[in-house]
Chains A and B, each alone.
Chain A
Amino acid sequence: MQADRIGVLTGVHFIDGDFAAAEGAIAAGCRFAAGYPITPSTEVVERLASRFPFVGGLFIQMEDEIASSIAIQGAVWAGAKAITVSSGPGISLMAEHIGYAAMTETPCVFVNVQRGGPSTGLPTLPGQADVMQARWGSHGDYGIIALCPNSPQEAFDLAVTAFNLAERYRTPVMLLLDECIGHMLEKVVIPPADEIEVVPRKLTEKKPGEYLPYLPGENMVPEMVKAGMGHRFHITGLTHDERGYPVMTAAAQEKLVRRLVDKIRLASRDVALYEGRWLDDAEVVVVSYGITSRVVHRAVEVAREHGAKVGQLRLKTIWPFPEHLIDQVLGGRVRSIVVPELNLGQLVLEVERVVRGRAKVVPIGHAGGTVHEVGVIVEAILEAGK
């Protein structure tokens, strides 16, 4: 389906990543947002608060992030597409409800504009240390999708994608910006509405009495419903059967949790968005995401000038971790994979897991607060190529 013309600010803009993410959400059909201010994410909700009244949307500033992260789920079950936005400390407070969304299969989008952590950390400076939190932030086993834009343009594009994937897989989706992308001003082109692909909420057409809110359908995903349709359905965060009724048995747990995890695992190839550069002849590949990929972009060029056979794999989708892309990269003559990130070694653990000794994996940790020096990455590439 194409985006609703109302809400799509078609044209060329000069805006930051936070505003662009907000515009992407609106273009995707999001009409409900709840949030609590926190640097460097606040501009997302400020933009929504000013734009929503013109497009039939509603923003509410809640009393905290716990409330925000569950208010959006109430809105989803009333039929809305909904978003909440925060940064590290607030995302930590939302953790229980990320799990609730996964367990109840509530399609919704959580934006984390990452800053330096842990705790209050560096409120106004970048970090990428929440990538494992994005994957495992709530207790229990579940799958989740997380996307990492590296420009305001992509913050717009991937916000649309985040909503589309949330609907397609009935899952919470994390959109992981960082302070740099969130506050960076760049050209953002918003296409005409009919060029923006939007996945609408697929509400069941079954009659009351026939519909089961957790009967797996296509891709293991059950059909959605909303309050007021006459189905008198039940939703619970307890382990439940296909009717949504609580069942406290190991068998019910196995059936449900395995599906929740497999649903996302099996989607891995379909949701893996990435960009490759100079991968054909590469002996060294730099794997990166978000703001770091822009430093890598330059570092790879410099290393090439120094004669290094180096390529770049930029992940836009970091969860589910695109194992097949790492496998593909290894299919060539790659000897080393360099993984710079603004944390002291998080996504590199996934790379190592997939590589299983087939190549040397070189992490370049950085505790955040700024980005890597280009030279540090160049040096690591040249060293890895020896």
Chain B
Amino acid sequence: MTTPVATREHAEGPARAEVPGCEPPENPVTKFLRTDRLPHIWCAGCGIGTSVNCFARAVDACKIPLDRISVVSGIGCTGRVAGYLRLDSFHTTHGRAIPFATGLKLANPELKVVVYSGDGDLTAIGGNHLIHAGRRNVDLTVICVNNFTYGMTGGQVAPTTPLQAVATTTPYGNLEEPFNLCHLADSAGAVYVARWTTYHVRQLQKSITKALQKKGFSFVEVLSPCPTLYGRRNRVGDGLAMERMFKERCVVKNGAATHDTAFDALAPGQIPVGDFVDRDRPAFLQRYNQTMRAQLGDDFMPYGEPEIDARAEADLFAGPEG
């Protein structure tokens, strides 16, 4: 039997007392953080913070003006990311970050809108929104932290939980085969799909950079340890042991067909990682504006007149090379 673990819904602690001489050294990521909200709620060994580090560095590399990025999260341990980032940030409802982000992006196309949430949030309760946003090709970057479980609520089974894994709601083992999220996003129509782990920090940072620069719906899956609820219960060990597992089992397969990228996190065998999909397809607003212009001619008034400034669009997508 597993011991019940307290849920983290109430874990917002008092701010850490300031201890002179203990300030963290200046770090390139600090400017992205609401330091007045630290310490964060995440457990020791959790991978979410590592992913945030990669995200912040990717945003830095893209040189996107920070005032123009919005981060939208759902609910979950990963859903708390929005609240720790010193950006315009929205902590929405469970599963609904993508439709919120859709409204935000369509109503101000000059914003770079990032959805940052958990596997349960984005692919269980929010699964319908994920596939439709992919199909529509709304210009969003989705970062999905896949820790194979529902962390925030205490380790229940998720659509990503490996077959036979123990979760609080599958005490005798999970009966359902998990989603291959990259295949799902690809099939839905995402123009950019990548999978890395929190062990692959450089690769992850690069892929997030590419995703941010991509016009259209981009999806980055980040396999991440939840030692507290998933690792411990399934004898995978602590955070470090899970990172070691990622290191040993991951095989880089850039460009692999996503239907060949499924894996079983509990059984031995390869875990395919890499940049799987990178293609072009008109994004929702591009097609909207083109179609309306063709149908209505000069009578068409695009959303948010004056028309979107092409230069602003261009520098939003200025890459690390300029």
Contact = CB atoms under 8 A, between A and B. Distances in A.
A64 B301 CA distance: 27
B92 A100 contact: yes
A203 interface: no
Contact of B96 (A97, A235, A248): A97
Contacts of A238: 91
Interface residues of B, number: 48
A27 to B, nearest CB: 16
Contacts of B102: 60, 62, 67, 71, 74
A251 B111 CA distance: 36
B289 to A, nearest CB: 10
A100 B303 contact: no
B124 interface: no
A310 B37 CA distance: 62
Interface string A56-100: 111010111011101111111111101000000000000011001
Interface in B84-121: 86-93, 95-96, 98-108, 110-111
Given A56-B301, A78-B107, A228-B68, A235 B89 contact: yes
B12 A227 contact: no
A77 B288 CA distance: 21
A237 interface: yes
B103 A235 contact: no
B132 A63 contact: yes
B34 A54 contact: no
B109 to A, nearest CB: 9
A134 to B, nearest CB: 20
Interface stretch (B21-29, B54-62, B292-300): B292-300
Given A74-B99, A227-B70, A227-B88, A58 B107 contact: yes
B66 interface: yes
A187 interface: no
Contacts of B18: none
Interface centre among A32, A34, A62, A248 (most CB of B within 10 A): A62
Contact of B88 (A6, A56, A96, A231): A231
Interface residues of A, number: 49
Interface in A206-258: 226-238, 245-248
A236 B288 CA distance: 31
Contacts, number: 154
Interface centre among B82, B99, B102 (most CB of A within 10 A): B99
Given A70-B100, A229-B67, A231-B88, A75 B300 contact: no
Interface in A261-299: none
Given A78-B111, A228-B88, A229-B67, A54 B301 contact: yes
Given A70-B96, A100-B92, A227 B103 contact: no
A246 B103 contact: no
Nearest to A99: B93
B103 to A, nearest CB: 3
Contact of B93 (A75, A100, A233): A100
Interface of A: 6, 31-32, 34, 53-58, 60, 62-64, 66-68, 70-80, 82, 96-97, 100, 226-238, 245-248
Given A32-B303, A233-B88, A246-B91, 6 more contacts: A34-B103, A70-B103, A74-B101, A229-B67, A230-B67, A234-B89
5 contacts: A32-B103, A64-B128, A67-B132, A68-B99, A237-B93
